[in-house]
Amino acid sequence: MGCIVTKAIDFLTPRLVGERFSGHAIPLEVLKDLAVLEEMVIEVAKWHYHNKHPDRKRLPRGFTDSISVKLTEINEGSAVAKLVLYVALTLLPQENQECYENARNSIINAVNAAQFNETITQHLPANLLGYFDRIGRSLRQDEAMEFNPADQARPASLNRETRKKLLRLSQERELTEEVLIRGQIPEFDQEKATFTLLLKDGQRISAAAPQQHFATIMEAFNGFFKGIKVSIQGVGRFNRMSKLQTFDSIEHLNVLDPLDVGNRLLDELGGLGDGWFNGKGSAFPKADLQWLTDVFTTFYDDSLPLPRLYPTVEGNIQAEWSTATHEISLEISLAGKSGELQIVCIEDSSSDDRLLQLDVEEDWQTLNNLLKPILGLV
């Protein structure tokens, strides 16, 4: 048997844009998206071959076995993944290699078409667009995967919006999305290993109960009438009306603290409409509540007790902590991303007042340092 000669060809350099990628690193959950690319590239290359040779029913020998797509390095510039196409030259003629290069170009062109409201199916058929159900699934609201970052005018930016456009034209009846969702567990069938999640709007979602989460599901089930809630992070399956049907997989399932910030802000206060207090008070913008949830989760010291959170008719959020010696309040301006902190000593009514800028990490550290001795953590 002769020696098989391989050639490495620079193939794709997708750039990941977003805060998570600022350290030139790619989270493992995003690497799963990149892994699907090889599968998609092969299928699109096969489509190109059959379009070029409509009279041939079979692929030539070695068409799929003689190539592989590998991640060889992560470069700077947010996080740029260098994907290399390895080709066995003795098994894959130049003509067939071009099918793979055309596949890459078709993927880039389809994403660009979605980004710039052009005709997507001019570049890829509907059945192949279904691969985007698994590519880009882990991207968050402020993130994107640019398939062609060298072209600043048309970088082929895959984000949540462009991914939805691509999937709407696919033949997939149900779509998947990474989700973080909260609710209660009113039903748990240990024999069938299934449970039901009750959402705040009354929707019930049935799902398989992973063995590793049995104890947590049981705790939440037993505490249903006490109002115990859980958070579930995993891959949700949605119908074409964007309604969650079930979970494809559950990665994390946790019982929530009764004062959980995300539950209070996003689920409870986020559900308030205009005139929520005797005709006064406006609905809180969802983006502002999400911002506060994110910064609170990121910068507030998790060894400290959580505050009680209250809405104000002026459109602010009031955070309060109480001890035997102090009353502490932080009135948070969502519009100004700032907080007026007041620490009152009950014994002598003295007050320490400060203005904190809550989009600055150092000011959160100041808050943590002020709270620790008062709340007994020093």
Q: What is the pLDDT of residue 341?
A: 97
- pLDDT tens sequence across 254-313: 999 999 999 999 999 999 999 999 999 999 999 999 999 999 999 999 999 999 999 999
Alpha carbon of residue 302 to chain centroid: 22
Q: What is the pLDDT of residue 276?
A: 96
Q: Calculate mean pLDDT across residues 188-212.
A: 96
Q: What is the pLDDT of residue 1?
A: 44
Q: What is the pLDDT of residue 243?
A: 92
pLDDT at 81 over 90: no
Q: Calculate mean pLDDT across residues 346-370.
A: 95
- pLDDT tens sequence across 316-343: 999 999 999 999 999 999 999 999 999 9
Q: What is the pLDDT of residue 77?
A: 61
This prediction's pTM:
0.77
